[in-house]
A and B are shown apart, each in its own frame.
Chain A
Amino acid sequence: MTMANQSARLGPGRATALVVALETGLAIWLYLFLMLESWPLLLALLVLGVGALLYMQRHQAAERAIIDSFAQCKVLSMVWMSVLVLVFPFLLQGNTYVLHLLVISQLYAVLALALNFQLGSANIPNFATGASYGIGAYTSALLALHWGISFWWCLLASAMVATLFGFLLGIPCMRTRNSYLALVTIAFGIVLQQLINNFSWTGGPNGLVGIPAPTLFDHSFADPIVVFGHSLPSQVNFYLLAFALIVVSVIVARLLHNSRVGLAWNALRTDELAASAQGINVTWYKMLAFAVDAFMAAFAGTIYASYVTYISPDNFTFLVSVTIMTMVIVGGMDNVLGVILGAFLLTVLPEKFRIFSDYRLLIYAAVVILMLIVRPQGLIPKQLRRYKG
C-alpha cells in the first residue's frame, strides 16, 4: 500500500465508529424519508442528502476516509447493516405501503446488482435485464399456475430458463460492441415483450392472475408473521425473502469480483483487445456475464411474480431495463454498495414524487441527466483493486 493511502487511514476505533454512525444515519434518513408525509420536511431531507453528497464531492479526504474505514471493517459493516435491515420492519408500525416500497427496492437492488456484472464489471451495455426479469417471472408463474409446482422449484427452473435465454442473447452479442450491442439487447427486449403481448398462452396483454404465494415449513407467505407476540404484515415475508436474495447476490458479487472471473471482466472493460492478447477468452467471459445477469434477474422476477400475484407485459418493458441501468450508473459502476444505494434511491424517490404524480417521470429523467453531468462516477465510485502483500 502506498503512502498516500496510509495517510487517509483512520485508527480502528474511529473507523468502526464511522461505519456504524454512517450506516445508522443512512437507515434513519431512509426511515424518515419513507415515513414522513409533510412536503417541507421531505424537501429538507433531500437537501440534507444532496448537501452531504456535495460535501463529499468537495472534500476528497472525507470520501477517502469513509471508503477506507468501510474497507477496514468489512464484516462489521455487513453485520450491522443486516441488523438494521432486520429491525426495520418493526419500526414501520405496520405501514404496508412503505413495506411494499422496500420489497420493490430490494428486488430492484438485486436486478441492479445483476446488471452490474455486465455494465459495471465488463462494460457491456445490456438493455435486456428487464427482459430476463420478465422471463423469470413468466416462467415461474406459468409453472405454478399450470402444473402447481412449488415456489422453490420454480425459482430454480425460472433461473435455468432465463440463463438459457441469456446465452441465446449472448450469441449475437459476441460479435458486436458498444452501441451495436446496445441495439441487439434493446431489440431482444422489445421482441420478447411483443411476443408475450401477442401469445395467448402467456395471457396476452391481460397477463397472468392468481400466482400463488410461496410456503416455507407450512408457513404461507401470504400470512402475517408473528414474532414475540408482535404481528407483522405479510409483506414482511417477502421483505425478508428479498433481503436474503440481496445477501446471496452480494456474496456472489464479492466472490466473483475477487476471483479470476472478476479480474477478467475488468480487463475486458479496460481494453478488450489487450485482454484477448493476454490470453483471456473474451467470448467466454462475455457469455458468462450474460448468464450471471439473467440468472440473478430471474430470481428477482420469480419473487416479484409471487409477491404481487399478477404480472402483465407492462411490468417488463424497455423502460424497466433503462431504470435498472440508471440505478447502476447513478449508484456507481462496479461498486456493490453504490449499486444498492442507487436502486433504493431511484425506487423510493419517484414514489415520493407522487405528490405531483403527473411530473414523476419528468423529474426522474431530469435528475438522472443532472446526476450524469454533475457526478458521472456515481454516488459511490468504483474502487481500485487492492492487493495484499
Chain B
Amino acid sequence: MAAEVIQQLLNWLVLGSIYALLAIGFSLLFGVINVIHFSHGDVSLIGPFVALAIVPALGSAFGPGGSVSALLMSMLAAIFIIGILGVVIERIVIRPLRDAPAMMPLVATVALGIFLREAIRRFYPQGSNPQAFSMPFSAPAFSLGEVAVSWFSVIVLATTATLLAGLFFFLKKTPMGVRIRAVSQDREAARLMGVRSNRVFQSSFFIASASGAIAGLFYAGNVGATRFDFGILAGLMGFSAAVVGGLGSIFGAVVGGLLIAGAEVLAQALVPDGAAYRQVFAFMMVIVFLLFRPEGLLGKVVVEKV
C-alpha cells in the first residue's frame, strides 16, 4: 500500500513538473503577445522528433559506447532548434497579426498547430506511427521504501526546479527580463521608453519554445513514445495548468501543473477504469476553477479601466 502511494506520488510530481514547464511557456507568451499561443503544445512536442532525427547522425560520430552522450547532445540540439522554430513562428505568423483583434492570432495559432502536426505526420519518416522514445536514464537512482526511483524522475524534477529558478532570476534581474516584463505590462509605454519590442518578442518566443521542447522531451520520455498528435493534449494540459495557477506567474505555473497532474493521477488511481477518464477529471477541475476563481490561484485580478 505504502509503496503504491509513493509510486503515485512520484508519478504526480513528474507529470506536474512537465505540465509546469509547458505552462510557463504559455504564461510568458501570453504576457508578451496577449494571446494564447495555441500551438505551443505542438511546437514543444516536435522536440522529441528532432532529437530522434539527430541521434543516428551523432551516434556514429561518438562511436560505440557513446550512445548516452549522443542522445544528450541531440536533445540539447533539439531544444535549441525548437527555440529557433519559435522565433521563426513569431516572425511569420504572430508578427503580422500583432495589431489584429485577439481572435485572429488565436485562430492562426490553432491552424498553425494543425500545420505542424500534419507536417510531422507527412514529412517525418513513418510520421503517422508512434515512435519509441526511451530516455537513457531508466536505471534506478535510489529507492524509497519498496519503490525504486529512476534517474529519469530525478532528472525531471531537478531540471524543472533549476529551470524555473533560472527563469525567475532571468525575468527579475537581467536587462532582457526587465524588458520582457515591461512589454507585458504595457507594450506602448515600453516602446516609448526605448524598448525594442521585436527583440523582446523574439527572445520570449525562444525561451518559451526551448523550455517547451524540454517539457516535450520529458513528456515523450514519460510515456516512452511520441506521436505526431501528442501536442494537442499536452498543450491543453499545459494551458490549463497556466490558467489554473494564474497566467503570468511562475509559481502559479508550478501550482497549476501540480493540480492538473494531481487530478489526472488521482482519477487514474482511484476511479475504476479511470485511465480512460483522466482528462475528463482534469478538465472538470479546470471548469470548476474558472467558475470560482477565473483569474487563477496566484493570478492578479485585473481591474479594467474604461
Chain A residues at the B interface, C-beta cutoff of 8 Å? 119, 123, 125, 171-172, 175-176, 178-180, 182-184, 186-188, 190-191, 194-195, 197-198, 271, 273-274, 277, 318-319, 322, 325-326, 329, 333, 358-359, 361-362, 364-366, 368-369, 372-373, 376
Chain B residues contacting A182 (CB-CB under 8 Å) are 36, 106
Cβ-defined contact, A187 with B104, below 8 A? no
Chain B residues at the A interface, C-beta cutoff of 8 Å? 30, 35-36, 93, 96-97, 100-104, 106-108, 110-112, 114-115, 118-119, 122, 232, 236, 239-240, 243, 273, 276-277, 279-280, 283-284, 286-288, 290-291, 294, 304, 306
Chain B residues contacting A175 (CB-CB under 8 Å) are 290-291, 294
Cβ-defined contact, A183 with B35, below 8 A? no
Cβ-defined contact, A362 with B115, below 8 A? yes
Q: Across the A-B interface, give the 5 residue pairs with the lowest CB-CB distance, nearest first.
A: A365-B115, A187-B283, A179-B36, A365-B114, A368-B111
Chain A residues contacting B236 (CB-CB under 8 Å) are 183, 186-187, 190
Bound-state CA distance A329–B128 (Å) is 30
Minimal beta-carbon separation of A134 from chain B (angstroms): 15
Q: List 18 A-B contacts (CB under 8 A).
A: A172-B291, A179-B35, A180-B290, A182-B106, A187-B236, A188-B287, A190-B236, A191-B284, A277-B306, A322-B111, A325-B110, A329-B104, A362-B119, A365-B111, A365-B114, A369-B111, A373-B93, A373-B97
Minimal beta-carbon separation of A58 from chain B (angstroms): 19
Cβ-defined contact, A176 with B290, below 8 A? yes
Cβ-defined contact, A326 with B111, below 8 A? yes
Closest to B39 in A: A365
Cβ-defined contact, B306 with A184, below 8 A? no
Minimal beta-carbon separation of B299 from chain A (angstroms): 10
Cβ-defined contact, A369 with B115, below 8 A? yes
Cβ-defined contact, A369 with B294, below 8 A? no
Cβ-defined contact, B239 with A318, below 8 A? no
Minimal beta-carbon separation of A283 from chain B (angstroms): 14
- With A123-B103, A373-B96 already in contact, 15 other A-B pairs whose C-beta atoms are closer than 8 Å: A172-B290, A176-B290, A178-B102, A179-B30, A179-B102, A183-B239, A184-B287, A186-B236, A187-B240, A190-B236, A359-B118, A362-B118, A362-B119, A365-B118, A372-B100
**Contact status of A125 and B283, CB under 8 A, knowing A179-B35, A180-B290:** no
Bound-state CA distance A34–B206 (Å) is 44
Chain A residues contacting B101 (CB-CB under 8 Å) are 123
Closest to B36 in A: A179
Interface centre among B35, B110, B122 (most CB of A within 10 A): B110
Interface of A is mostly: helix
Cβ-defined contact, A190 with B283, below 8 A? yes
Chain A residues contacting B239 (CB-CB under 8 Å) are 183
Bound-state CA distance A192–B264 (Å) is 17
Minimal beta-carbon separation of B59 from chain A (angstroms): 30
Contact of A372 among B30, B104, B232 (CB under 8 A): B104
Closest to A318 in B: B232
Contact of B279 among A191, A364, A368, A372 (CB under 8 A): A191
Bound-state CA distance A142–B14 (Å) is 42
Closest to A197 in B: B276
**Contact status of A171 and B107, CB under 8 A, knowing A179-B35, A362-B119:** no
Chain A residues contacting B119 (CB-CB under 8 Å) are 362
Cβ-defined contact, A187 with B108, below 8 A? no
Interface centre among A194, A333, A369 (most CB of B within 10 A): A369
Chain B residues contacting A198 (CB-CB under 8 Å) are 273, 276-277
Chain A residues contacting B287 (CB-CB under 8 Å) are 172, 184, 187-188
Closest to B105 in A: A372
Chain A residues contacting B111 (CB-CB under 8 Å) are 322, 326, 365, 368-369, 372
Closest to B107 in A: A329
Cβ-defined contact, B290 with A179, below 8 A? no
Contact of B243 among A123, A180, A190 (CB under 8 A): A180
Minimal beta-carbon separation of A373 from chain B (angstroms): 5
Chain A residues contacting B294 (CB-CB under 8 Å) are 175-176, 180
Cβ-defined contact, A326 with B107, below 8 A? yes
Chain A residues contacting B100 (CB-CB under 8 Å) are 372, 376
**Contact status of A359 and B122, CB under 8 A, knowing A182-B36, A366-B115:** yes
**Contact status of A369 and B104, CB under 8 A, knowing A180-B294, A183-B286:** no
Chain B residues contacting A358 (CB-CB under 8 Å) are 122
Cβ-defined contact, A329 with B114, below 8 A? no
Chain A residues contacting B104 (CB-CB under 8 Å) are 329, 372, 376
Chain B residues contacting A191 (CB-CB under 8 Å) are 279-280, 283-284
Minimal beta-carbon separation of B11 from chain A (angstroms): 20
Cβ-defined contact, B114 with A194, below 8 A? no
Chain A residues contacting B243 (CB-CB under 8 Å) are 179-180, 183
Bound-state CA distance A329–B100 (Å) is 13
Bound-state CA distance A325–B280 (Å) is 23
Chain B residues contacting A373 (CB-CB under 8 Å) are 93, 96-97, 108
Chain A residues contacting B96 (CB-CB under 8 Å) are 373
Bound-state CA distance A325–B109 (Å) is 13
Chain B residues contacting A123 (CB-CB under 8 Å) are 101, 103
Closest to A319 in B: B114
